[in-house]
């Protein structure tokens, strides 16, 4: 079996919207970034690269959170919490990732986004017609 991968460069986010988030990969990158310490000699290129990877992952998960939150009623508290974390994500992702500290902040952001996504998926309204279908 040939294991080949393609790097997706999609600054407008058009193709990413069609792809599901790769949670296992995201969690692996988050664990790796959080395991780095200032004692390691991490090059500026590595910091920039992992920062871009984490930014892309955060945007994908944030889009999923946004879709799930939009399915909830306006007065639902879970929607409010989702909107707050999405505002935080927008703020953090607007800053350049130039240090190990910022890389780790992005990794923590992805964890927070996945936690919110899990809560929203648990709260998703059940489609009764789909549930009743054999």
pLDDT in tens, 90-114: 999 998 888 888 999 999 999 999 9
Q: Are 17 and 64 in contact (CB under 8 A)?
A: no
Higher pLDDT, 32 or 39: 32
For residues 118-129, one letter each, b for 16 or more C-beta atoms within 10 angstroms of the residue's C-beta and e for the rest, the string is: eebeeeeeeeee
What percentage of residues in the chain have a pLDDT greater than 70? 74
Asked if residue 128 has pLDDT above 70, the reply is: no
Total-model pTM? 0.74
Hey, what are 111's tokens? Answer: 């964890």
Each residue of 45-84: pLDDT tens digit? 888 888 888 998 999 999 999 999 998 888 888 999 999 9
What CA dihedral angle connects 67, 7, 107 and 96, to 10 degrees?
Answer: -100
Q: Is 36 within 8 Å of 87 (Cβ atoms)?
A: no
């Amino acid at each position: 079996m040939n294991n080949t991968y393609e790097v997706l460069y999609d600054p407008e986010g058009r193709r990413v919207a069609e792809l599901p988030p790769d949670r296992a990969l995201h969690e692996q990158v988050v664990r790796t970034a959080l395991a780095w310490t200032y004692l390691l000699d991490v090059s500026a290129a590595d910091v920039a690269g992992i920062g871009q990877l984490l930014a892309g992952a955060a945007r994908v998960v944030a889009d999923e959170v946004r879709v799930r939150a939009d399915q909830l009623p306006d007065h639902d508290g879970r929607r409010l919490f989702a909107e707050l974390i999405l505002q935080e994500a927008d703020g953090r992702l607007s800053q350049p990732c130039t240090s190990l500290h910022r890389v780790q902040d992005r990794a923590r952001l992805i964890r927070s986004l996945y936690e919110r996504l899990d809560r929203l998926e648990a709260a998703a309204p059940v489609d009764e017609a789909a549930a009743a279908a054999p």
